[in-house]
Structure 1
Amino acid sequence: MSPQQFRAQDKLALLLALVPYLLDQRRVSVADAAAHFAVEPDLIREAVSLIAVSGVPGETKQYQHGDLFDIDWDAYLDRDTIVVTHQVAIDDTPRFSAREAAALIAGLQYLAALPEHDNREAIATLMAKLTRGASAAPSQLAVAETASAAEASAEEIGTLRAAISGETQVEFEYLNARGQRESRVVDPLRIESIDQDWYLRGWCHLRHAVRTFRLDRITGLRGTERPITRHGDDVVVPSTLFDVSADDLRVQLELPSAALPLLADYVTPGARTTRTDDKVRLTIRVPHYHGLKRLVSGLPGLITVLGPPEARQIVADWAAAGAAQYAESDA
């Protein structure tokens, strides 16, 4: 864009974006800055001239030498290179604390470990900016790749994505919720990540219905050249992750009212709840008691299993077995 096409608000937007860009780059040529913002070099030079006379007046309400931005004029005039040597007010803006920056960096490390995030360079650049911009050095944290992310390898996700985009079927061996291994042929519709687990949603030719498959229970995944027979427009993919089945087991639970949204995927529409003080009682449906154990372990200290007696006994035995392992370890 030429200087003649630039309006006043465009110049202000360029100036506001140019200052942090120069500070982040530390040393950049006029040509590179112009290419970055897709403008003519003369617009960059005009903005630099304005930066050099910008600042915040001191206590005297007058501009002194230290109250203005400054650049390396020798580098600018002789080599057409911009280097900001003095900045004003930028350091007075609120910064992330060391703990806040460490938490954000840990989250970025987790994202970098997921197979779907292949732009590691962008994530590394953002982590470096957070480290430099924090009020103090962030704590050194390392986030290991989760087992589910490791098992849901980039190759498996790539195979599924290729099948979804190419509208072709996939085949695999699946360990179902009851511990039975079955061969499945599926028309893949979508893949999604919930918490630490990856799931495939698709039309299962064995069950003749839409089913959800956990990727860490899939083995021998292979793509085919057969076209799918069910498309996203042909079937209804439930908005909830877990489908209701006539074979599901009913379990009565008690938990704090504030924790009820955490069970949204397990609560069927129209299910009755009974509230007492800050507690709520309700009945949920689970495919098997192993899934109930996983649910209880995911919300430690929040869920009390009220019935049926078989469910209470299974969860109690499972918790006792876990506690016994800690006792053995201490011994």
Structure 2
Amino acid sequence: MSAQRTERLLNLLIALLNSKYGLRRSELREKIYHAGAASDAAFGRMFERDKNDLREFGFDVETVMDHGWNSDDPATTRYRIGKESNRLPDVELTPHEWTVLLLASQLWEQAALGAAATNAMRKLQASGGLADVELPAGVQPRIKPAGQAFEDLVAAMHAQHPVRFRYLAGSTGREEERVVEPWGLGSRFGQWYLVGYDRLRGARRYYRLSRFTSAVSVLEKEAFTPPAAFNVRAELASLPELPLAFAVVDVRKGRLLGLRKRSAPAAVVAGEAVAGEAVAGQPGADGDWDRLAVPYRDAELLGEELASYGPNVRVVAPAELAGAVQRRLASAAAFAAAPVPSFDFADAGPGKRPRKRTSEDQLKRMLQLVPFLVHNQGLHIQDVADRFGVTRKELENDLLILICSGLPQGYPDELLDIQWEDDHVFISQSLELNRPVRFTVDEACALLTGLETLNGLPELAEGSALESVTLKLMAAAGEEGLRAGALSGPEVGPANSANLDLIRSAIESGSQLHLVYLSAQKDSLSERDVDPLRLYSMDNTWYFEAYCHSAAGLRNFRLDRIEDLTLNGKPVSSPVKPDGGFPAKLFTPNDDDTLVTVQLTGRGAGLADDYYAERTAALPDGGLVAEIRFGSTSWLPTFVAQHGGTVRILEPAALAEASRDWIEAALAQYAS
């Protein structure tokens, strides 16, 4: 969409909104399309495209037909947009309800629905104003979707397009192509599942996203209709958990403390581990190795973890698990050996993986901007830009288009009237754009799924605010809200509530903590005194951010890796505070960290956001080259192996070579 078309759409929208009886095609062509339609046929095509675009933005163009008195008096067709039918109803929320809703919206901060949640919150602020609320310490969960596939599947699901992908079938162990109508996405047993209709098999099927072996292709020229009132949470509730089994693995002496913690000597559980004959032919553990039995339910999930340990572990049985590990290592080795593509960081900016801004984005933003300014008069222009995630120059460009837009006659009192004198923005003429448009499906899903996910937090479930704000949002979302059942998030309740309660209490009282902590990267236990700052979660894994006196800096600690936690009787003593951003960053880059250049495939592109890439360059195949800062580089071979062929190190060359050697050493253990 060109800038000229953006302005034309805005003028068309204002004209149709402000016409009580509707406008004839001849009036529209003369007043709105005079510069672009050379013929009636060209005008007709442009008008039909514009009506479809307005429908995408939430405005339905009504067609009104006046029938003539007789055959000599032809019918007249007029067009208008109803002032009420497309508007978000006013939603009045209490401060407690705003707090809950703010938590729900921020679940998706780095997910596919993050932008949708932000847009929905802006619309609610424009309709009722945001109360001055603070997020409670210890209740800051977020959702980490299953990579790029999640984003692509959500987009296809809401647009109702089928998808194509390659899948590792659990029943056969073979990679097979699937063409699926995506009905719903949900989390169950710590795994994300796609539920849909498999066109090749003619039946409903379930797919674990961890078994996808290719990027997702959206078949945009095809469409489907999902079952009425489909609810993916109810659908997945009937899915049985995989049975518990034991894998026999050899682990190097003194290594992998985390894996040892949940394992036992293989001899102790040999009868439950694997059939005796499956292990009998394997060489026994020697002086450098310990043979362990590791409990697991999903071979692919455990295979991803074991592959990340490289030459420090080798799978004895079962063969399915050994194959899962080898496949990941082989994919990582093949990707590492592939030719390096040409790329250019010249146009890349700092921060998240860049997405090119379009004129559609600009028009959507301007439609949110007008009602926001009406309800928030006099804000500083930089504050407005920050609220909308744009630069001041981009915002001023929006305002310059808006003040030139209005009714077809173009008289001074028929244009949008916006001033920003002394850098404070005021609007006095809104031309029926003063109320936000109704939620899109994405926006309704983002908020309602987030609210449903918060049910797992006892401190929220006990109160009435969660239930009341959900009912208000369902009523406001209307038909779009009914489709939110196609998405469900993970359980976010903490497994170790005792540690969480102690940390929350220490945060509130300003008390220092002493902890014994298992560092997975260093594969060692350490004792630390820390000043706790805030708690948050990623899916069902909880973390707390603290100032670590041993490291003399901010660190993040997983609650499930805490071996011991006590109050040490001292008050917090560090002046360091969180940066105010939400959620807290799992990794805080520093200027003296190592700058690493990595290549990501289309499947792994989301890692650029997860690790806060400083610059990215898009590749023709949908992948990326990214620059990321790492404080410690010794674990990067683990990082590469874990993601099995979706990421590789390009620079520094010594790190790339060390990663290749490490993966080849791991593969060599399976050569026989």
Normalised by the length of structure 1, the TM-score is 0.48
Higher normalized helix content (fraction of residues): 1
Higher relative contact order (CA 8 A, sep 6+): 2
Normalised by the length of structure 2, the TM-score is 0.27
